[in-house]
Amino acid sequence: MNINSVNIVEDTFLEKGYSCWLQYNKITDSKLIEEYLPYCLSLSFTEDSPIVRSAVEELADGVKSMLDKEPTIYNYFSNDASIILGTYESINLSDYELSSDLFEKLNDESYVLKSVNKEGNNKILLVGKSDKGILYGAYHLLRLIQTRKSVNSLDLVESPRNQIRIINQWDNMDGSVERGYSGNSIFYDNNQFTNDLYRIKDYARLLASVGINAISINNVNVWEIETNLITSKFLPEVQKVADIFRSYGIQTLLSINYASPIEIGNLTTADPLDEGVQQWWAEKVKEIYSYIPDFGGFVVKADSEHRPGPFSYDRDHAEGANVLAKALQPYNGIVVWRCFVYNCLQDWRDRTTDRARAAYDNFKPLDGKFLDNVILQVKNGPMDFQVKEPVSPLFGAMEKTNQMMEFQVAQEYTGQQKDLCYLVPQWKEYFDFDTHAKGEGSTVKTIVDGSMYNYRYSGVAAVSNIGNDINWTGNTLAQANFYGYGRLIWDPELGAEEIAEEWVQSTFGNDPLVVETIKGMLLDSWNIYENYTAPLGVGWMINPSHHYGPNVDGYEYDVWGTYHFSDRDGVGVDRTVETGTGYTNQYFSPNAEIYNSLENCPDEFLLFYHHVPYTHQLKSGETVIQYIYNTHFKGVEQVKDLIDRWNKLDGKIDDYRFNNVAERLQLQLKNAVEWRDKINTYYFRKSGISDDQNRTIY
């Protein structure tokens, strides 16, 4: 269901879906009210800024909604206030047994939450290193109350682990969203900007509440109309959107067309070494900053999947990125240069050709050649957001070049938000992976947070999963991925279960049955989805173009199964050094040796690295073919169990959200059955080996 200006919808039936985890449900427990209310009677803020105003507004609305009490607001320091907000420089910290030395060690987005009993009055001190810290602290305090945590003895110091925490919108100006599974764009319609700025504000609230501090507002595939976003035709509209995001501590970036000097600049070339091109970009950047003084910079997809780039002029990626970076340097802008680069027209039947090698092969030789305001955005895996694939070997391989990791919150290859697939456990595996780049303990999270190589810029990006559906994400439970992404990149040490529980409590309330049931469904879902889809890391068994549903040999650039090389004798891609593509050698030791060895390779990635007979025995004792049969039958039964678990919550969740999820689960069952039957039938016919349990395979 799509509704315009949903922020003013009075139908609580719909608002439950729209409000996501910012429900601020009324508290009825008298003991909790007795604890919380004395701390929430009044707010005092010691300095004024749009960001502080956003924090105060959110706190006031949340308190009124949860405690049925509108707090008094003082726009100056008041010792009578029960919540005091300010930066560490605007509050006399010694009055509250705090030292400014603490804040000197923290980054600008940090904050302290401290309970104080002063002169018999209960207070909460919310001190930010900057106004952004105040905003994030406000959301933290509200989250504590939503999840019914005690606030009597708060003594919290919080700092985001990752510097850049960005969402990439793949929105097109015609209103469509590439890989969008929850309606159309909230930014554009019919090649114009939307008039519904209220919804954009609500999106900013959601993003800030989980610590997102940057957004690119258009698709990385920049087509003709979107190229004009950096012109005077649309920059006034971009400015309006940037103003909204700025008030929530979020910096705005734009994806650009590398051929812009030709497309909109009337030049005959976009060669990055051409002086006219360099001057054009310098003038264009100056124009953008005249509209948006804190503009973040450019996101660039170049020389991949038919997009223009420096290869057209026999230039490398460093030369291509640096012309933009140089133009942005005077304004502290950045270039986010995507490493998703490969030749989609190569001959996939050649078993020495390997798409997985592409990012490393293209970028590793350029280490140290990029300007220091360029960040390489590397997908979490070497392929393309598959349900199971190893970490990209590019992480840790470029000591002298800023890197950030790219996730996909939108579930493109993991059920498109029709099927339930909670991805936080997957993302944690990537973060925790030890690359051994500088010996043991060189985890991915220490690379992307910048600490291992002292990057100037680093962080995490993700493809957004929101659209203009009433509940933002199509499937209400997909909100958990949106929430979980923000929380995890703020603090990669948070557990997937902890994040899931927070989200369920904030979204559905604190009924123990509701919390435990939904949390369990979320935590089981990634494994369930993998069970009935592509097995053992092989990936890609998906319909072309729209990437939904099983098609074992059907991927766009595939030629009769050349992403998995299934034949009558076996399945899997040989990526070993001795007989395959040599991809395993892109990893540091000992990972390279482990993946290269058939004996030592983890079963979960077996078919990603090795071509094996169907009778190859896994470490579990199962043969590969029997594992395929067993998991696909099991996956269907697990989806049936998800349905049973959800149905037990009937009457405990509002009708809109209950029915929304129930419908998606029924669709997931249909999908799981289709996957099971097509995959099992394919491999039965390929191998000629029957299921040892004599189940029906069509």
**Which are the catalytic amino acids?**
305, 384, 412
Question: Helices marked H in 329-449 — which ranges?
Answer: 358-363, 424-432, 444-448
Three-state DSSP state, 623: strand
What is the rounded distance in angstroms from the CA atom of residue 545 to the CA atom of residue 490? 34
Q: How far apart are CA 148 and CA 154, in angstroms?
A: 13
How far, in whole angstroms, is CA 619 from its chain's centroid? 33
Q: How far, in Å, CA of 92 to CA of 163, rounded?
A: 28
Helix (H, G, I), strand (E, B) or coil at 508: helix
DSSP 392: P
The tokens for 116 are 């104080």
Burial class (CB in 10 A: 0-12, 13-18, 19+), 403: buried
**Count of alpha carbons within 13 Å of 226, Cβ hemisphere only?**
26
d(CA 442, CA 401): 16
The letter for the amino acid at 326 is: K
Provide the pairing of β-strand 459-463 with 164-168. Answer: parallel
Find, among 254, 256, 259, the residue nearest to 168 by Cα.
254
My answer on whether omega of the bond before 365 falls inside 30° of 0, hence cis, is no
For the record, the structure tokens of 344 come out as 């989609």
Pick the closest to residue 561 from 546, 551, 576, 574 (CA basis).
551
CA atoms within 13 A on the CB side of 189: 10
Query: How many alpha carbons fall within 13 Å on the CB side of residue 11?
Result: 11
Neighbours of 483 (CB within 10 A): 25
Q: Are strands 192-193 and 297-300 parallel, antiparallel or unpaired?
A: unpaired
For 496, the enclosing helix (H) or strand (E) is: helix 496-508
Beta-bridged to residue 542, according to DSSP, are: 550
CA-wise closest residue to 394 among 377, 369, 371: 377
Question: Do residues 414 and 384 lie in contact, with contact meaning Cβ atoms separated by under 8 Å?
Answer: no
Reduced to 3 states (helix: H, G, I; strand: E, B; else coil), residue 408 is: strand
- Can you read off the two tokens belonging to residue 531? 């069970």
Nearest Cα residue to 350 out of 597, 607, 574 = 574
Phi-psi region of 332 (alpha: psi -120 to 50; beta: other; left: phi over 0): left
Contact 188, 173 (CB under 8 A): yes
In a 3-state reduction of DSSP, which class is residue 218?
coil
CB 683 within 8 A of CB 631: no
- 393 vs 407: CA distance, rounded Å: 15
Containing H/E element for 522?
helix 512-531
Strand-pairing partners, residue 623, are: 617
**Residue 390: which of 605, 586, 594, 607 has the closest Cα?**
605
